[in-house]
Amino acid sequence: MYLIAGLGNPGKEYENTRHNAGFMVIDRLADMLGCEVTGRKFRGFVGDGRIGAEKVVLLKPQTYMNLSGESVRAAADFYKAEPDHVIVIYDDISLDVGSVRVRAKGSAGGHNGMKSIIACLGTQDYPRVRVGIGDKPPRMDLADYVLSHFTRQEEELLQEAVRNAADAVVMLIEQGPQAAMNHYNKIKKQEKEEEGSGR
């Protein structure tokens, strides 16, 4: 059994903002699995389905970003999910829009939602899928940037990243973190190399 948590902020005013990339991937997974993430539990919205032989629970914490760990910890405790079976999906300003990165474990990297989860789980040894939202423009406040919407030009790249992130979660569960890292962490690198070589 895997708990898959996508991070974001609740409420209409935050829909489709950069900080809600995790919610977008959960919605994509729900569509793929034919389930709805509408149940109210663990201070979040939940739904369940199957990926291969594994039962999975999809979670969208409704605690606001900086308290995400409280929702994730409550769900992990209820389902008795070990940290290596808790997958967290979240936005990352250090990655270009359209990029996806998979990691088996790691630090919070300055992300408030991840800081909360690490504090509540008591470990940083859990897999995560990072969705690139691009770095903030000079002189723009970081909080304003992550709560802003994607530009029209970025939308196509975002949708590609959401698809890839959802597929990366499936591969992570079916084949393990290393396989997912080997495949998805190379995609944008390869595209850049091909652009540089004039292909």
**CB 67, CB 154: distance < 8 Å:** no
Report the Cα–Cα distance between both ends of the chain, in Å, rounded: 43
**CB 121, CB 81: distance < 8 Å:** no
pLDDT-derived band at 125 (thresholds 50, 70, 90) equals very high
Burial tier of 135 (Cβ tally within 10 Å: 0-12, 13-18, 19+): middle
Cα gap 28→6, rounded to integer Å: 11
- Tokens 């935050």 sit on residue: 14
CB atoms within 10 A of CB 176: 13
Summarised one tens digit per residue, pLDDT across range 43-93 is 999 999 999 999 999 999 999 999 999 999 999 999 999 999 999 999 999
pLDDT-derived band at 189 (thresholds 50, 70, 90) equals low
Q: Structure tokens of 77?
A: 């405790």
What structural domains and CATH numbers belong to the chain?
2-196 (3.40.50.1470)
Summarised one tens digit per residue, pLDDT across range 8-28 is 999 999 999 999 999 999 999
| Beta strands 39-41 and 44-51, pairing class | antiparallel
Give catalytic status of residue 19 as yes or no.
Answer: yes
- For the entire predicted model, the pTM comes to 0.93
pLDDT-derived band at 144 (thresholds 50, 70, 90) equals very high
pLDDT for res 191: 53
Given 19, 85, 111, 149, the catalytic residue = 19
